[in-house]
Structure 1
Amino acid sequence: MNMRLPPGARLVDGFVGLGDAQHLLAAIDAEPWRSDLKRRVQHYGWVYDYRARAVSPDMDLGPLPHWLAEIANRVGQDGGFGATPDQVIVNEYCPGQGISAHVDCEPCFGPVIASLSLNGSAEMTLRKRSTGERHCVILEPAHLLILSGEARYHWTHEIPARKSDVIKGVRKARTRRVSLTFRTVTL
């Protein structure tokens, strides 16, 4: 298995500091969670309909809350969005939970997707759709993964549902991981 990133993927180590990460987690945990998936989620800016794989004008939730707007602006600037992302999905992954291989909805979202990891670590697998070539990356707390270009459109990404990962040669039990996925809605 190849440990490098595919073209168009970039990992920014320590995108947020420990204090900022704790502040974000506290703000997230103060908000209500949706439990209609195998994992808990929160939607900001726009609701994404997982069944229809769509976003429509009636799904607009308004501007991002103040505690999320500043980090979204920074992600937009540093992540190559060209503007502040207007949609954020917060996902909570408990040990044993993951997300199946997918490409974020192409007609729904713009050319850059970014995911900020908080609290726990997990291994993500990226797989080229045309060849099956595979790359893995460890998503550590405070790291920002940016997918654009080829990595955004031609590679799936997934987090295998398991209770541990091998990190730097050592099996490490997963703990609760929260991710913030930043996207721009294209209607």
Structure 2
Amino acid sequence: MNHVGASPLPPGVMYFDAFVSPEEEATLAAILDNGAWSTELKRRVQHFGYRYDYKARTVTPDAYLGPLPQWFGIFAERLVTEGYCRNLPDQVIANEYLPGQGISAHIDCVPCFDDTIVSISLLSACEMVFHDVRGPAACGVLLQPRSGVLLRDSGRYGWTHEIPARKSDIVNGVRTDRSRRISLTFRKVIAPKWS
């Protein structure tokens, strides 16, 4: 498998460093830890804006939780003003990953969310792995704390992404141990037929 540095990311995938400052990272982690984590999955999650139904793989009318809290709204607006998102995100999922936890290869719900997904990493590094849905091609990138990864167009629809469930990552011959990591996934809900 190729890693960033050895070969480019898939088309439509962009990695960017230092999207949030160390102070913002600490503040976000503290705010989330004072919130209500759900344990409905193997990892803890919090939903903002809209609740995503993992079993039905959809967003329904009763899933609206209200506007994003101001502390997420600031980052949603930054994603637009800095050119990462075309439309203002209105949904965020916070996922907590402990060492050994991950998420299987997937494509975010196509009828639920628009063409741009951005994930911001807090607290720990981990590798995100991409697989071409048309064949065996795969590559990975080490997501550093406070960095972001953007999935758009073919990077959103033509490649799966995953966080392998392991306690460390070896990228370009360098082993990186994982610690507790929080990911913030920013998405724009597509105006559904029930609106």
For 1:7 and 1:68, how far apart are their aligned partners in 2? Answer: 28
Please state whether the residue corresponding to 1:24 is helix, strand or coil.
Answer: helix
- Asked whether the 8 Å contact 1:89–1:182 carries over to 2, the reply is yes
Say if 2:48 is the partner of 1:48: no
Is contact 1:73–1:83 with CA below 8 Å preserved after alignment? Answer: no
Could you say which residue in structure 1 is the equivalent of 2:117?
A: 113
Give the Å deviation of 1:169. 2.5
Task: Say if 2:141 is the partner of 1:137.
Answer: yes
Aligned-pair CA distance for 1:20: 1.0
- Go from structure 1 to structure 2 and tell me whether the alpha carbon gap of 1:96 and 1:79 turns closer, same or farther (over 3 Å shift): farther
CA spacing shift, 1:80–1:173, aligned 2, 3 Å = closer
RMSD between superposed Cα atoms in Å: 1.1
TM-score (norm 2): 0.93
Say whether residues 1:18 and 2:31 are aligned partners.
no
1:102 aligns with 2:109: no
- Determine if contact 1:77/1:83 at 8 Å carries over to the other structure: no
The aligned counterpart of 1:179 is 183
Q: Which residue of 2 aligns with 1:68?
A: 72
Q: Find out whether 1:8 has 2:12 as its counterpart.
A: yes
**TM-score (norm. length: structure 1):** 0.96
Structure 1: segments with no counterpart, 5+ residues: none
User: Within the alignment, does 1:59 sit opposite 2:63 as a pair?
Assistant: yes
What secondary structure is seen at the aligned counterpart in 1 of 2:100? coil
From the superposition, tell whether residues 98 and 79 of structure 1 become closer, same or farther in structure 2 (CA, over 3 Å): farther
The equivalent residue for 1:81 is 85
Residue 24 of structure 1 deviates from its aligned partner by 1.0
CA distance in 2 between counterparts of 1:74 and 1:178 reads 19
Give every structure 1 segment of 4 or more consecutive aligned residues whose post-TM-superposition deviation is greater than 4 Å: none
Asked if the contact 1:79/1:114 (under 8 Å) is kept, the reply is no
1:23 deviates by 1.1
How big is the shift at 1:87? 0.2
Where does structure 2 lack aligned partners over 5 or more consecutive residues? none
2:128 aligns with 124
Report the AA paired with residue 114 of structure 1. V
Deviation at 1:172, TM superposition (A): 2.2
State how far apart, in whole Å, the 2-side matches of 1:52 and 1:43 are.
16
What is the aligned partner in structure 2 of residue 170 from structure 1?
174
Indicate conservation of the 8 Å contact 1:124/1:139, yes or no: yes
- Residue 167 of structure 1 deviates from its aligned partner by 4.0
SS at match of 2:142: strand
Q: Judge conservation of contact 1:10–1:147 (CA < 8 Å) in 2.
A: yes
CA distance in 2, matches of 1:134, 1:15: 25
Q: Return the letter of the residue paired with 1:2.
A: N
Identical positions, percent: 50
Aligned equivalent of 1:155: 159
